[in-house]
Amino acid sequence: MSIDRIIAQSGTGTLVAGLTWRPVTGGKHSRKRLDEARAQLDATHYVVQSGAHAAAYGFFVPRPSEEGQRLPKGAASAAAVFASIVGTDHPNAALLLRLGDADRFYLVTLDDGMPTLDMVNDLHSVLEALGEEKRPIWSDQEELDGHALQEAVDLHWLTGHPPGKSARLLAAPVNILPALVITAVVVLAVGGWQAWSQHKKAQERKRAEQEAREADPLPKYLAALVASRSRMYSDRGDLQRLVGQLLAMPAKVVRKGSGSPAWQLMMVQCYAAERYCKATWQRQGGSFEELKAALPNMSLVLETKNGSAPSLDIAEMRFTPTWSRNLTSTPQLPQFDQAFVSGGSLFQLWKNAGMSVDVKGPDLWPKAAGVPSSFNTPHGVWRGEVTVSSVPGPFLAEVIKAAPAWMSWEYLKVELPSNSLAPASLVKFTMTANYYVASK
């Protein structure tokens, strides 16, 4: 048997893939922080990767097939080498390389210049792990499932950069106290039964460590974050155009010939994530057929509540707006306190103008199976909600534009007075936005 995670051996050294990466709490390496990071990991070697704004540990945890195998002297982390080459200028870069002729590929992703994903798998699995977030990618593949190629490279390119001292894998420090205790027990024990008992305990401990690794929420959370991050923000240009479309909608439907009122528009609500708008109409003597004929680009939806029949006097017309996600928006996220001070000053100006602002506190985002709501990590994201109501019509465009970059407008509501002649006469709107901040 051999260590199949050794992806290259050359005159510059041996490169090892598939390390388990953990952020350095507090951003500065120490023996205590190293022990905290490797808790529940049966790691034999580690590497420390440091950048301008973050630091991370990479741990080599032997797999069952690698038990008894030793890493070559001077082995280095392939992910750390890649981070040292491009991490400063491209802190969110990715590396995707084919390993040999089989369906076997190597993937590294960086966040804040630190490796987060470091894996060897088939092409489908690595592309799925890469997610939809737009990253500069170094690769030997032409087809990247919608991702843009930053630079065409191969494995020889990676091995052509000699690993620096910071990329070398170091033997994990050993806590000698447990070893001394075990030695004393073995010396004092008599017969083969005691030795067998110790072996049994070691197997149970290893099994418990394996279960603890599988229960570790950090890899699950980071994978969910990578998959969701590119769709955090809605497109504000689309929202501005949607407002113009809503203001151009007729407020009344009249009967042909007589000109008498048939339906009165009461309210329009639009949802960015679900990508639909619903317009609520009140009957003034008209029929469903007259409403459908007047609004051919909308669909009539009849809703029932608690088993009751749909209303004959209220109709809901739905349509699909052009309100897409902004896949290129990647603002630097502030801490909550910083966001509340800078954003709060803007919210106070809105309140002075007669608007109402309701801010809900943030919690962990995104939600992922196996990740408790109380989980926290230095690389995490928290999401809250801001609702702005009683927005005067003339101020609406400025409110949409002036909101901080870490806010994403997700909901818009327009209500019409019963005597309104056209949506353009409305003076009040309600909008709700998600806001994102760096984890606490």
pLDDT, position 379: 81
pLDDT, position 189: 52
* CA 131/CA 233 separation, integer angstroms: 16
Cut 0.75: pTM above it: no
Per-residue pLDDT tens for 96-128? 999 988 889 999 999 989 999 999 999 888 888
pLDDT, position 195: 63
- Among 375, 371, 390, which Cα is nearest to 430's? 390
pLDDT, position 382: 94
Residue numbers in the chain where pLDDT is lower than 70: 1, 27, 174-197, 207-214, 418-427
Q: Which residues contact 161 (CB under 8 A, 6 or more apart)?
A: 12, 81, 84, 85
pLDDT, position 417: 73
pLDDT, position 349: 94
Q: Is 122 helix (H, G, I), strand (E, B) or coil?
A: coil
Cis peptide bond N-terminal to 173, omega within 30: no
Angstrom distances, CA of residue 432 to CA of 236, 247, 300, 312: 13, 19, 25, 31
